[in-house]
A and B are shown apart, each in its own frame.
Chain A
Amino acid sequence: MSDVAHEGTSGVPPEAEDTSWRQRYWKKNLRLMIVLLAIWFTVSFGFGILLIEPLNNIVIMGFPLGLWFAQQGSIYVFVILILVYALWMDRIDDEFGVAERNGEGGYK
C-alpha cells in the first residue's frame, strides 16, 4: 500500500474496501498528540510544580522563574499548543483528503 495512492483530494475514488489510510491517519494524529502533551506536562507540572523551587532561584524582571511558569508561562504555552494542533491537523487532513476547509468545511 503506497502513500501516493491516497494523497490529496484529487477526487479519484480509492477502492471501496480500503480503509488502511485510517490507521495511518490515526497514527499521525496520536504521534502529534503525544508530543504536544509531553510539552504540556513539562511546562505545567514540570516547571510550575515539580521544579518550581530550584527555578525560583532565577529571577527575571522581578519574577522568580518557577512562579512565572506557574502563573504566566504555562498558559502562554497552552494557547500555542492548541493552535499548533489545529494547524497541524489541517495539514494531516489535507494529506488524507478529509479536510473541511470550504466555509469551515463540508457541513452536512
Chain B
Amino acid sequence: MTETQFWTFFFIILTFGLYIIIAWRSRVKETKEFYVASQGVPTLANGAAIAADWMSAASFIGMAGLIAFLGSDGSVYLMGWTGGYVLLALLLAPYLRKWGKFTVPEFVGDRYSESVRIVAAVCAIVVSFTYVVGQMAGGGIVFSRFLGLSIEWGVVLVAVVIFFYAVLGGMKGITYTQVAQYTVLIIAYLIPAFAVAYQTTGIPVPQISYGRILAELDALSTEFGLSEFTEAFAGRAGGQVDVFLVTLSLMLGTAGLPHVIIRFYTTKTVRGARYSAFWALFFISLLYLTAPAVGAFTKLNLLQGVQGQGPDTLPNWINTWGATGLVTVNEDAETIQTVSNLATSGADLIVNNDILVLASPEIGGLPAPIVGLMAAGGMAAAMSTAAGLLLVISSAASHDLYFRVIKKTGASEKEQMLVGRIAMAVAILVAIWAGINPPAFVAQVVAFAFGLAASTFFPILILGIFWKKANGPGATAGMLSGLAFTATYMIYTLEVFGTGANDHILNVSPEGIGAIGAAVNFTVTIIVSKLTKPPSPLVQEMVEEIRYPQTRTAAVRS
C-alpha cells in the first residue's frame, strides 16, 4: 500500500464511521421526522446542511477544473450557483416555509391542483435523478483513483453507505450527517488551497493571491495552445449571450431545485428560513470564492510541470492518474507542446476537468495526508448531495405519487415509512446503474438538471406566491411546455440518449436553454390562467396567508 492509499483509507474510514454513528443516533420512526426532520433544525446547522446538500461532486471535484480551462467564463458556475440563493432567500424560502409541509409537489398540489402535483412530483424525480447520476459518477472517480477500485465498484460502495444512513434516518439523519460532511469537505478543500497559495505566492489567502499569478498563467496558457484565463467569453463558443443565459439558467435552477427548497422546510420558523439562507450562502461562499483560485493555481503548476518535458520525464501524478484513463499523454511527442481538457483535441497532454481538484495536492507537490483528506472531502460532497436528492425522489414517489394517486386512504404511519424507504432503495439501485454509465462530464450532467428545474419549478413557485390569479390549468400547461421545450433542445443538441448532437441554435448552449424554458413556462402559465377561471377564494387566502411570518400577535384569525 502506498502512503497516499494509507492516508486515503484512514480518512475515508474515519469519516464514514462518523456518518454512520450520526445516522444511527438520529434514526427515525415518524414521517414528519423522515421528511422534514420534525422542523426542529437550528438555523446555523441548517445552513451547513444546505451547503453540504448543495455542494455536490460537481462543486467539489469538477468546478475548479472547469474554471481552470474555461478561465473567466467559469464565472457562469460561480455566479450562477451562488446568485440563485439571493432569489431563493428573497422570493421563495420564507413563503414555502410558512406554508410548511413536506415536499415541493405538495405545495403546488395545494396551491394549484392535484394534476399539477403529479406533474411536479414527476419533474422532481426527473430533475433529482439527472443530478444524482453526477454524484454517483463523482464518488466512483474518487474511489477508483485513491483506493484502486474500479469505477463500478466505487459507485456501488458509495451507494451502500448512503443507503444505510438515508434509509435509516431520513431527513433527520441526512441533516446531521450533512453538517458533518460540510465540515469535512470544507476543511479538505481549504487546506490544500491555502497551502498551494502560500507555496506559489507567499500569501496564504488564495482569494487574494491568485491575482498575482494571472499574468503568468495567461502567458503560459497561450504557449500551450489554450485560451487566456482572464479573457472574457473565450471559454464558451456562444460568447456573451451564452454566458448570460447559462448564468441565468443556473440561478433560476438553483432556486427551483427541490432538494434545496425542502431544506428550508426543516427550520423552526420563517425567520429561521431567512437566516438559514444567509448561513447557507456564507458556508457555500467559502468554497466558491476559493474554487477559481484553486483552478488558477493548479493549472499554473500543471503547465509549469510539463513545460519542456517529454513523455518520459513528466511529473509523477500524470502516471498515477493515467491509470484511471482520465489523463492521456501522446507518447510520440518529443516535448509536450499542447495541453487540453478535450479528449478529441489531439493535444499532447489531455487532462480531464474532473481530476484537477483531486490531483491538486499532487500537482502542487503537497504531502500524502492532504491527498487522503482531499479524497474524503470529495466523497463527503458527493454523498451529502446524493442523500438529499434521494430523499426528494423517495418523498415524491411515496408521499406525492403513491399515497395520493394509488393508495388514497388508510395508510398507517408505519406503512408510509416503509413505502418511503422502499422508494429510496429503488432510487439508489437505478442511480448505481446510471452512475456507472454517466452521459457526460460530471459538472455538465448537473447543469442539465438545472435547466430542467429552471424551466419547470421556478416559474410556477414564483407565480404561486406572487400572483394570486395563477391557477391549476395555467400551471400544468406552463410546466409541461417549459419541460418539453427545454428537454427537446437538450436532446437535440446533446449526445446523451443515443441521439446525435446537432449545432446550437443562435449560440444558445444546452446549459443556457433553461432560462428560455423558464420564460416559456411563465408566459404559458400567465396566458392560460387569464383565459380560465381564477383559483377559489380559499386558495387566494392561502396565498395571502403565506406572505406573513406568523399570525399577528393577539389578532385572532383563522
Contacts and interface: CB of A to CB of B under 8 A. Distances in A.
B74 interface: yes
Interface residues of A toward B: which range? Answer: 35 or more
Contacts of B549: 93, 98-100, 105
Interface residues of B, number: 60
A105 B272 contact: yes
B82 A75 contact: yes
Contact of A74 (B83, B230, B268, B274): B83
A83 B270 CA distance: 15
B268 A81 contact: no
Interface string A45-83: 100111011001000111110111011101110110111
Main secondary structure of the interface of A (DSSP, over half): helix
A79 B281 contact: yes
Interface in B266-305: 267-272, 274-275, 277-278, 281-282, 285, 288-289, 292
Contact of A86 (B72, B230, B277, B552): B277
B86 interface: yes
A49 B240 contact: yes
B553 interface: yes
Contacts of B86: 36-37, 40, 78, 81-82
Contact of A13 (B212, B232, B275, B555): B555
Contacts of A85: 89-90, 274
Contact of A56 (B43, B210, B230, B270): B230
Contact of A101 (B232, B271, B554): B271
Interface string A27-39: 0010001001100
B500 interface: no
B75 A70 contact: yes
Interface in A1-53: 9, 11-14, 16, 19, 21-22, 25-26, 29, 33, 36-37, 40, 44-45, 48-50, 52-53
A83 B277 CA distance: 9
A44 B83 contact: yes
B96 to A, nearest CB: 15
Interface in B72-89: 72, 74-75, 78-79, 82-83, 85-86, 89
Given A62-B211, A107-B268, A98 B281 contact: no
Contacts of A93: 271, 549
Contacts of A62: 210-215
B78 A104 contact: no
Contacts of A97: 552-555
Contacts of B83: 40, 44, 74, 78
Contact of B90 (A19, A36, A44): A36
B232 A86 contact: no
B467 interface: no
Given A40-B86, A104-B269, A105-B270, A22 B289 contact: no
A108 to B, nearest CB: 8
B269 A71 contact: no
B553 A11 contact: yes
Contacts of B430: none
B232 A75 contact: no
B244 interface: yes
A59 to B, nearest CB: 8
Contacts of B244: 45, 49-50
Given A14-B555, A22-B548, A62-B214, A90 B208 contact: no
Nearest to B283: A79
Contacts of A106: 269, 550
Contacts of A63: 211, 214
Contact of A52 (B72, B282, B554): B72
Contacts of A36: 86, 90
A101 B292 CA distance: 38
B43 A104 contact: yes
26 contacts: A14-B554, A16-B556, A19-B557, A33-B90, A37-B90, A40-B86, A48-B75, A66-B72, A67-B72, A70-B72, A72-B289, A78-B86, A78-B285, A82-B278, A86-B274, A89-B274, A96-B552, A97-B552, A97-B554, A98-B548, A99-B549, A100-B271, A105-B268, A105-B549, A105-B550, A106-B550
Interface of A: 9, 11-14, 16, 19, 21-22, 25-26, 29, 33, 36-37, 40, 44-45, 48-50, 52-53, 56, 60-64, 66-68, 70-72, 74-76, 78-79, 81-83, 85-86, 89-90, 93, 96-101, 103-108
Interface of B: 39, 42-43, 67, 72, 74-75, 78-79, 82-83, 85-86, 89-91, 94, 207-208, 210-215, 230, 232, 240, 243-244, 247-248, 267-272, 274-275, 277-278, 281-282, 285, 288-289, 292, 544, 547-557
